[in-house]
Structure 1
């Protein structure tokens, strides 16, 4: 049986630790520095300041006790005046007797530190009379009141005789040196982390298909090695894309050439009524094969050649809607007049066109809408009033050749998601307010 609950430090650590590498590096430097200076302050405070404070308090209270003993031994008024004047001249203590007065309860006002505690202990040990202390009312003197049988003895003890400024100088030196060291460490670590941030930004941009070029290797040896490896990776990927594009261009030419010959042969056949239906079917088959070849090549080629540039998304959607209406579809558009994003325009246009074509093949009405989602994302919704797709099958239609029906190739949704994810976004399928299916596209700003 567990007697004590298990302590979970992981959640607390993640909650309070900085998330950035710079913050955690500075914390690693700051914590030992603060701990070291705290130990040094405690050692200095306990071994030096505390001893000096007790000795100063004992000296002042000893002079005060001697004065009180003299007042008690020579009680005449003339002697009292001489004793008080001598204490002021020799000890620097301003004393006066207020006859018939009584001490006010709870009048002591102390400060933080060992000085007031040491003075209080010395007064209790040597004076042994009721007294009060006031450290806050006068910036130059500590006011002490002692209850005598004939009245109250008020003492103004010079503050500089009861404590030393060494502790403040020492604390100032500790804090100042810590700030200087921390500032130097912050500047140094920021320069080291800058290379990591530049590498992360370049990797993110390269993953979205942007041509970031070779990044400059700077910083520590490990950061330079990571930057050099990233540059080599970019070069290999570019070389692979170029080789694949060249190969696909040859494949495209080899596949389209016999299809073109077939189309020409069908066009040259005599237009006999007996063969008109067969010729039309064969021509449709050839066109379907050309369309499928184009879709397959577009899927295999990817979008690595086109570079992202500022694009008016609203104007692009208007072109897609005009084209769909020209083909006889009922398509509505709700978008702001101007919405500029950094996009590979042809690729995104192809992705949204695929979604619109897929929707209008299964529905009578299609609606496009654009909504800002915070400051870093834009949502594009493609809604239709068709039969929709069951929730358990929505993810499967994004796999190649899974959704090929009603004249499609089975690659439209696959190509669309591949393009959007290459931009750093995503596509999800949901229930549409029109009763059919909604394709929600998330694009980063």
Structure 2
């Protein structure tokens, strides 16, 4: 089915290994990829070959997980990783997460705009709040209430955008003969002061080819919708089914309208994890192997699966290579607190073994598609044509071969179906996304 509208793709750069905690141990993976900047560069170059609109780095300023057996979840530093990528790529967008809770607006404005100028207008900022108590402790602070975090976020984004626009367009004259580097009458302080943040300005950086970085947002709830509707051109979301994705997209578009914006100028990008094989069974084998390399996590996963469907499951009481007993399943029900639960129960009722239910990724943070390239493309097509998403943030299970397989095997199917573009339509991230030029606050 051909469509004029094309989906957008972001490649989520995790930690050099892929999203699964045991990916660092998989055959072919460089165990030291975490500190090897070339691993991020090569993934980004492969995504650029696939005409991805952007690469995306999520981040939380805290050490998460137990590194005795798990790899880190994020790169060492998102901005430095993207700086390396910027120097080795030409067209692909570069989006990083940095918190409004534990960063001064001036530093945020300076870092992102400098990278935007260096990359010729390819940068985006995923502006998020941080509630993690361990992250707060890293900054010698206490966690803030949700109300405080979002009030601070509004101030932060307003100051950052004012700083981005503190050079009027045309201020950078570079008049060699006249001896004028810049017109200081067009470079002015912003003099903003709020309850949490303030800045005099100006920023010492001229506009980029797209004016200023694109703002993204990833928080949920009413406060997240308000932040997105006010400022964002992209929203990273984590829905588990088409219906919830469609509802979230509509809510975001309605929020844009409430703040006087065109709803088409804000794009919902949904995350999903892929495992590709020549058959569905081969893709599931890949996931089974990942699970076997993280065997110490299996007891907790089994218990959590049980909680999702209202049953007491444990590795001590049953063989996880067998289906859940029929008598137990008669008492099963999907937890209303976990949107992943209906899918878990559906697979259990089909008679899959506990191990295979987990292999399907029912407790992963994003939906998991384990199958052939066609099955992956079918999933994306269904969500896109249902107007549940504007695009996807694709997350490889294992990075070293997963990104290449997606680009070489899935992208051509999407292009053949008319769902995805053949080449970049412009030079900047704003052009890639089809959102307006912006310089300074909206």
TM-score bucket (shorter structure) = under 0.3
Structure (1 or 2) with the greater helix fraction: 1
Q: TM-score, normalised by structure 2?
A: 0.19
Is the radius of gyration larger for structure 1 or structure 2?
Answer: 1
What is the TM-score normalised by the length of structure 1? 0.18
